[in-house]
Chain A
């Protein structure tokens, strides 16, 4: 798994590549927590390079969404979610908890 963060004025665009499972989810969760520790709560997660995500990744997403939305200070949005990951997120009822975007430019502009 590889994570890169691009800081914009109003939000961070965080790109996740590879696989998020129980082995790599702590690193994924840490990257999101680090953004929060730096006072960044508006996060767009570009998932286009993501091959796989298990419920360990879903839990990290849920924790990040809770932390970001607290005090109305921000939000996590998902960008370019691969079909299979989207279907698994749907099964878990997660798609209702996150706005999704097909275009990173639109996602960044939404904040």
Chain B
């Protein structure tokens, strides 16, 4: 499976979203779901850049994205700090304006938008796997 390697910088988020859109479109996803797949991939990559690497220069993240049957499977691998999305407290989306948390939204959206989000931290780095079945 081809891996796409990107410098871990926010200005590459455009390219990450483009790769996801292209593969999801070829896989027959609706334009609406393609948007949400792009959003989930963006949130995942943004978290890696912001938290796993935390501004470290010359860092890279590696993405795979492919159809497996009627499912799209997106993985992201990084060698930064272990960042477990499962450990992120779910934001209270009913809280009033002053009590709203600023953090945790990206992970929350990933979970809402994808069917499964799996995280694994190994000696060779962190691997995030997200899957979504075709609508």
- The docked-state distance in angstroms from the alpha carbon of A91 to that of B17 is 20
- The docked-state distance in angstroms from the alpha carbon of A52 to that of B39 is 9
- Give chain B's interface residue range (CB within 8 Å of chain A): 20 to 34
- The docked-state distance in angstroms from the alpha carbon of A69 to that of B97 is 9
The interface residues of chain A, by DSSP majority, are classed as helix
Given A55-B106, A55-B109, A92-B105, A97:B46 Cβ within 8 A: no
A54 & B43 in contact (Cβ 8 Å cutoff): yes
- The docked-state distance in angstroms from the alpha carbon of A55 to that of B109 is 8
Tell me how far the C-beta of A3 lies from the nearest C-beta in chain B, rounded to whole angstroms.
Answer: 18
What are the 10 A-B residue pairs with the smallest beta carbon separation, nearest first?
A: A93-B93, A23-B10, A55-B105, A22-B10, A22-B46, A84-B35, A55-B106, A21-B13, A23-B11, A54-B42
Q: Which residues of A contact B (CB under 8 A)?
A: 19, 21-23, 52, 54-56, 58-59, 62-63, 65-66, 69, 83-84, 87-88, 91-93, 97
